[in-house]
Amino acid sequence: MQLPPSVPRQRVGQVCKLNKSLYGLKQASRQWNTKLSIALQSMGFKQSIPDNSMFTKGEGHSFMALLVYVDDIVVASADIKAIQEIKGQLNAKFQIKDLGSLKYFLGLEVARQGKGINNVCQRKYTLELLNDTGFTDCKPIHSPTVPSHNSVSILAAHRVLRYIKAAPAQGMFFPSSSDLKLKAFSNSDWGACVDTRRFLTGFCIFLGNALVSWKSKKQVTVSKSSSEAEYRALAATTCEVQGISYLLNELEINHSGPAAVYCDGKSAIAIAKNPVFHEHTKHIELDCHLVRETLSKGVIKLFHVGSKSQLADTFTKTHCPSSFHKYISKLGLFNM
């Protein structure tokens, strides 16, 4: 910030009055992000295109990835010396606080063991939430949804709190050794919402055996058939697979070969593979074009999967506790 020309640059023994703080202003976060990005790029980092909060540098053993969330930064590299150098450069510019190995980040608790990251959970946040709502001593239940409800979009707040009471440390496991193949499960539930008659899109994506992305969301428009709903869900899954593929390329992770996408809707797969069906689905032309194009380019490969093996089923339908836990165990979730 520059002072007006009429104000002397230096006045011994005097201080400047701060009329307005930059912290908290609408432009403060934007200005900070710009300053930090310029500083990182001056150190040789390249800002990621698919994810602007990620910066990468180097290659091979010296490859480094840096993830930024406002003023919290996570640095990952196999080269410990390079990490120390970057910390020193950042400290010289911004006076950072080194918190050591990653244990707690944005409400996520990270526990490690020899086989990989043992658990990523929100135990501390969960216990604080139960305490704030007075549910610390509530009776736990083992499923967040009511089996008699038709849609997972209908949630009872008290039931969710009782569910997380039963599993406060439930989290995900990320193995240190696994194949780096992308596989996705795409699913939809026809007319699940009784109020809007919209379908639900649900998908989950794995990198090897690790769950890396998932979604459960009501579709924007009303589909005319279950085939159309399945296809819209397939298009959303394809978009996410593409985004993850771009991200993996920037992380120098070799994931050669198409991503395997599993769908339990045979008609949706037929629409993607057969141009004849395309003539009967002109009202979803953009979605058709996206899935067909990625399929023809070899980005994805479609497979039919039975409903009992559809791992994304729990994102679109309600389940009793036994079937619910069967599905989430296959997703790689467990309670410490």
Residue boundaries of the structural domains of the chain = 28-100, 178-335
Cα 76 from Cα 97, distance rounded (Å): 16
Residue 185 has pLDDT above 90, yes or no: yes
Predicted local confidence at residue 278, as pLDDT: 55
| Sequence-ordered strand ranges (E) for 159-293 | 170-175, 182-189, 200-207, 210-218, 259-263
252: left (phi over 0), alpha (psi -120 to 50) or beta: left
Dig out the tokens for 57 from the structure: 């540098």
Q: Which residue has the higher pLDDT, 289 or 235?
A: 235
Predicted local confidence at residue 3, as pLDDT: 39
Dig out the tokens for 33 from the structure: 């992000």
Find all residues with CB under 8 Å of 65, minimum gap 6, and list them: 54, 55, 56, 75, 76, 77, 251
Predicted local confidence at residue 191, as pLDDT: 59
Q: Which of 133, 132, 130, 192 is nearest to 163 (CA)?
A: 130
Residue 282 has pLDDT above 70, yes or no: no
Cα 68 from Cα 215, distance rounded (Å): 23
Confidence of residue 118 (pLDDT cuts 50, 70, 90): low
Confidence of residue 314 (pLDDT cuts 50, 70, 90): confident
What are φ and ψ of residue 321, in 5° steps?
-50, -40
Cα 271 from Cα 263, distance rounded (Å): 12
Cα 241 from Cα 222, distance rounded (Å): 24
Cα 187 from Cα 226, distance rounded (Å): 11
Q: Which of 143, 148, 51, 320 is nearest to 74 (CA)?
A: 51
Dig out the tokens for 317 from the structure: 């339908």
Which CATH code fits 28-100? 3.30.310
Q: Which residue has the higher pLDDT, 312 or 15?
A: 312
Fill in the DSSP letter of residue 308.
G
Mean pLDDT for 177-204 is 83
Predicted local confidence at residue 1, as pLDDT: 36
Write out pLDDT tens, residues 33-63: 888 999 999 999 999 988 889 999 988 888 9
- Same fold for the domain at 28-100 and the one at 178-335? no
Dig out the tokens for 296 from the structure: 């023809």
Topology classification of domain 178-335: Nucleotidyltransferase; domain 5 (3.30.420)
Which of 146-150, 199-203, 292-296 shows the lowest mean pLDDT across its residues?
A: 146-150
Q: Amino acid letter at 317?
A: K
Cα 41 from Cα 39, distance rounded (Å): 6
Write out pLDDT tens, residues 235-281: 999 999 999 999 998 888 877 789 999 999 888 888 888 766 655 56
